[in-house]
Structure 1
Amino acid sequence: MIDVTVIRNKSDKIQSFVISGHAFFAKRGKDIVCAGVSAVSVGAINAVHALTGVTPLIEQKDDGFLSCEIPGNLPEDTMEKIQLLLEGMVVSLRTIEEEYGQHIKITFKKQEVE
């Protein structure tokens, strides 16, 4: 199963997200759940960089692990744009979860310290 964890700060803004695991929907190279999650998450990261100039802190591994953290102390207008892009990612991931819930699980957490 693909586990997605979205971490929000005390202001309810997405601060980071972590994706790990495998969908096991189909054989490697034919897994539409994995491909969809990858396209949505990497696309969101690329959009943040291309449209705001902000480079998130990213860790990616070959085993399906992706971690993305938004840098702190950004101007408010930049953070609003980033949030819109990341909330769009969440909507897309939830849509995948609604259809393929046995292969992907999304969890939301609140960051305790800012």
Structure 2
Amino acid sequence: MIRVTFWQGKDGNLRGFTVTGHAGYRIKGEDIVCAAVSALAQTTVLSLQEHLRYLEKENKEPVVTLREGDLQCLVPDGLSPAGAGTAGVILRTLEIGLQAIATDYAQHVRVEYKKYKTADCGKLTQGS
């Protein structure tokens, strides 16, 4: 099963996401569920990198961790209003797409929401 966690700040806005696992819908190379989730998540990372690079005066790219079957992307603290707004729209678009996939393939994709705190954006710790 693919598990998607959306990380929310204290204000409830999306600050990032984690995707783990494999859908198990079909064999590797034929799994349309895995391909759909991967395409949305990777496009989100690329879009955040591109837009934040353009909007932010300082280097404020998302913090991305990628391993086999796992992807985590966190938006850094201290974005400009334009950067924060753009990041929010991009993350909300991912949320809509993944919720639709989770609805159609509920046995293969689960979406959840958690609060987080960061000492620095690279170290994620769950909040209350």
C-alpha offsets along residues 16-62 of structure 1, whole Å, 9 cap, x if unaligned?
21110110000000100000000001101111112231421111112
C-alpha offsets along residues 46-102 of structure 1, whole Å, 9 cap, x if unaligned?
11112231421111112x100111111111111000100110000000010011010
Name the CA distance, whole Å, in 1 between partners of 2:32 and 2:50. Answer: 26
TM-score after normalising by structure 1: 0.93
Match of residue 58 from structure 1: 64
Name the CA distance, whole Å, in 2 between partners of 1:93 and 1:60. Answer: 18
Q: Name the amino acid aligned to 2:91.
A: L
Root-mean-square deviation over aligned CA pairs:
1.4
> In percent, how many aligned pairs have the same letter?
28
Where does structure 1 differ by over 6 angstroms across 4 or more consecutive aligned residues? none
Deviation (angstroms), 1:113: 6.8
**Equivalences, count:** 113
Deviation (angstroms), 1:112: 5.5
Match of residue 87 from structure 1: 92
List runs of 5+ in structure 2 lacking aligned partners: 54-59, 120-128
For CA contacts below 8 A with separation 6 or more, give which structure has more relative contact order: 1
